[in-house]
Amino acid sequence: MEQKIILKESDIPRQWYNLSADLPTPLLPPLGPDGKPITPDMLAPVFPMNLIEQEVSTERWIDIPQEILGILYGWRPSPLKRAVYLEKHLKTPAHIYYKDESYSPPGSHKPNTAVAQAWYNKEFGIEKLTTETGAGQWGSALAFACKLLGLKCKVFMVRISYDQKPFRKIMMQVWDAECVPSPSNQTNAGRKVLQESPDTPGSLGIAISEAIEEAVTDKNGKTRYSLGSVLNHVLLHQTIIGLEAKKQLEIAGEKLPDIIIGCAGGGSNFAGLAFPFVLDKINGADIKIIPTEPEACPTMTRAPFAYDFGDTACTTPLLAMYTLGHAFVPPPIHAGGLRYHGMAPLVCQAIVEGLLEPRAYHQNKCYEAALTWAGTEGAICAPETSHAVATVIDEAVKAREEGKEKVILFNYSGHGLMDLTGYDAFLSGKLTDYSLPDEELEKFTADLKALPKAQTRKSGKW
């Protein structure tokens, strides 16, 4: 038996899977400032129309253009690997499989959508993309995609990360992107913040506002904004992961997995692996599907389901999602990609429907799992990915206790080579676990009551 199952390029999926087509209850629409559903036209200054069409599409299958596949071939189809050494170490009868998304040049799953978004924008005649980035994973993925497709790219990077984590910034520069610390004096939003607090460390919320402003104020109309998670079309582009995995599990001689696991910050890597299997679950298959998040930012496990803004500055449409409140400031845990106050509406709706079983972990437990992983399978995973690894280990141990030969599949969303300071903090015993106090949760979500209510057929949670 092979430890890795690798598809030929000619066996790559030719279509993305759109969960919107199959959700038992349709998604609640995004709302505008007036509380009314927004129309595709209203999004046109921000996104190109071909991506807006994907955003609102309820078609089940959407063709992947050949040029996008040509670039993805650089590292796709990604290998499906079996964690034989971890299985042995845990003495588990479970079969543990993972999609290795760390092989892309920027080191994570993010380029799957970055390449697609850059391609659709180019196709629409756009010449430049703007975005925001925290620690830099998304910014570097978009810089990479824009460079390969010949678009300009401008990344507003949260100032504290810009100053303290120079390596992702250098990556972006290698790929020719303009990377500026946010708040900057290049936008009204940025200047306003700098006037009020010149020494601010910045935030993702401010950086989003700057990136959107830069896009919509281009007088030639040749600039658009790009987002790395949360939105429907972003999750759509990631489903190539799960679709590949399905073919690979079949080659490995396995039926459908018993358990599927992914970490979830905005939801894109989790959804990319899980959604094609959620369809099987909707059709009756018995699969436990677990998105894992940090205890420090417990969106899916503790937050209300409500309409909320996607950014701190309240400039985006209102999205129906589990949310800790747009003003929520997550503690400085090392999994920067899991520090978002909301969650992709598609993931949230699937939770409302009872299709997913979210779970939360503390970061020390996750790093402990990451060390077990590095000591058995060899690779050093991203702090975000360590949340999935911790969940996998728990489930594999449970399978041992139950004496069941379960098939576990998870998304190895990225490597941790740019995030070694977190490991250093863990190894030197300096890592703190945070739990969100109930009062804090209440405080940050209090504002939501003034916004339109998000009631779906099954939710009734809020």
Contacts of 165 (CB under 8 A, 6+ apart): 135, 136, 418
Q: Is 70 in the site for a second copy (CB under 8 A)?
A: yes
CB nearer to a second copy: give 10 or 220.
10
10-29 binders of a second copy (CB under 8 A) = 10
Q: Is 107 in the site for a second copy (CB under 8 A)?
A: yes
Contact with a second copy (CB under 8 A) among 32, 73, 164, 446: 73
- Angle (CA) 312-314-320 rounded to 5° is 95
CB nearer to a second copy: give 148 or 318.
148
φ and ψ at 26, to 5 degrees? -65, 155
Residue found by looking up tokens 């078609």 in the block: 59
Contacts of 46 (CB under 8 A, 6+ apart): 212, 215, 216, 224, 225
Residue found by looking up tokens 């007088």 in the block: 219
- What is the sign of the dihedral through the CA atoms of 335, 173, 130 and 217? positive
Tell me the pairing of strands 4-5 and 15-17: unpaired
CB nearer to a second copy: give 202 or 422.
422
Contact with a second copy (CB under 8 A) among 14, 26, 33, 167: 167
- Contact characters 324-363, a second copy, x per CB under 8 A: ----------------------------------------
17: left (phi over 0), alpha (psi -120 to 50) or beta: beta
* Omega before 183 within 30 of 0, i.e. cis: yes
CB nearer to a second copy: give 402 or 424.
424
Q: Is 163 in the site for a second copy (CB under 8 A)?
A: no
Q: Is 175 in the site for a second copy (CB under 8 A)?
A: yes
Provide, rounded to whole angstroms, the least separation between the CB of residue 70 and a second copy: 8
Provide, rounded to whole angstroms, the least separation between the CB of residue 277 and a second copy: 25
- Contact characters 364-393, a second copy, x per CB under 8 A: -------x--xxxxxxx-------------
CB nearer to a second copy: give 103 or 124.
103
115-134 binders of a second copy (CB under 8 A) = none
- Residue 276 in 3-state DSSP? helix
399-428 binders of a second copy (CB under 8 A) = 417-418, 420-421, 423-424, 427
Q: Which of 234, 273, 269 is nearest to 80 (CA)?
A: 273
- Contact characters 263-302, a second copy, x per CB under 8 A: ----------------------------------------
The footprint of a second copy on this chain (CB under 8 A) covers a number of residues equal to 42
401-435: b or e for each residue (b if 16 or more CB lie within 10 Å)?
Answer: eeeeebbbbbbbbbbbebbeebbebbeeeebeeee
* Omega before 40 within 30 of 0, i.e. cis: no
Q: Is 97 in the site for a second copy (CB under 8 A)?
A: no
Return residues touching a second copy (CB under 8 A): 2-4, 6, 8-10, 70-71, 73-74, 81, 85, 103, 105, 107, 144, 147-148, 166-167, 170-171, 173-176, 371, 374-380, 417-418, 420-421, 423-424, 427
